[in-house]
Amino acid sequence: MDSLLPLGQVAAIGGAVAIGPLLWWRQRSRASTSTGRLRALTALTLFLTFDLIVFGAFTRLTDSGLGCPDWPGCYSSASPVGAREHIEAAQAAMPTGPVTHGKAWIEMTHRYLASGVGLLILVMTVLSWRLKRLEHHDGQRERVPSPWLPTLTLVWVCVQGAFGALTVTMKLFPAIVTLHLLFGVGLLMLLPWQHEAYEPRPLAVPQTLRAAVVAVLVLAIIQVALGGWVSTNYAVLACDEFPTCHNGQWWPALDFAQGFQLWRELGHRAGGGFLSFEALAAIHMAHRIGAAIVFTAILGLAWLLRRHAPNWSRWLLAAAGWQLVTGLSNVVLDWPIVAALGHTAGAAMLLALLTTLLARLKKALP
């Protein structure tokens, strides 16, 4: 029971965080139809989920992932205020360590925001089932999308929360942290698909173009996974030059086998000992190669879209350009936090754009 108390308290704070957005949504969508209100709530949740992903990157980049080394509370308290003595003791023992007052607040703020997003998704799911039950009753003639997609989104965010817990309890285990990131962007992809279901706006394009969007989306997801692996293993500066990697070398000694041992502790090899520089450079170079492939694929997709959906072509080119600039800035400017956050935000935006585009191509021409 003691372990459930901080969970309930953190959830309550998350509920308080969600009250403001819910009140704003209720006020702004008062005159809308039922499906219009659900669509507006989905858009709001999508926006806040995007913000949550960026703040999650900020948490990782400031080394705040273990700012509170237990879960769901902070030293069994709902906030760092109640854990002040524990935090001060940890900070005194290791002033630049993982536990400080600032890092504890960053970590707990991330948990509060995640709880708030979870509550919004719960409200969205309940409303979608309620709307489905009311379909064709009391004179309602609105087209109501299936409530199973919001339900999947709710289950998904619960699993994402479980991986968030494992991220802390398993001390930033790289595979778990990367999966936590992937579930976060997966949640971001579910929401625009759901948003489009409430007001379909199909684009008439050849079927082959839809296949091209699917292919680019798959490549982008793989690239995000590689980016997560780079970040969680702190391999960004293993190659500190561009276009060369290190010491003027285009292709230095690389150890892909060691770098892509998935089940191991942070900074260590699976069989024991520290991860080598060659392994970190291999992780970085894999991401660079993936970036070149994805960038080329987006250029090709934008060219194919230029006649059927010119606006989408321009948006994808802008997203690809943003990723190129922020990615290069991470290397040549020694990984500044602004560039790193911009790179994460750009990756999330690119996946959201591709998912929305795919949702609108569901009724493609033969």
Catalytic residue set: 107
Q: Where are the alpha helices (DSSP H) in the chain?
A: 4-28, 34-61, 84-93, 101-134, 148-169, 174-198, 207-232, 256-259, 277-305, 310-332, 337-360
Q: Half-sphere exposure of 58 toward its Cβ, with a 13 Å CA cutoff?
A: 19
- Crossing angle, helix 4-28 and helix 101-134, to 10 degrees? 60
Contact 176, 166 (CB under 8 A): yes
**DSSP per-residue letters across 294-332:** HHHHHHHHHHHHTTT-HHHHHHHHHHHHHHHHHHHHHHH
| Contact in structure between 160 and 183 (CB atoms under 8 Å) | yes
CA 65, distance to chain mean position in Å, is: 15
- Cβ contact 45:53 at 8 Å: no
**CA geometry: angle 179, 113, 228, nearest 5 deg:** 25
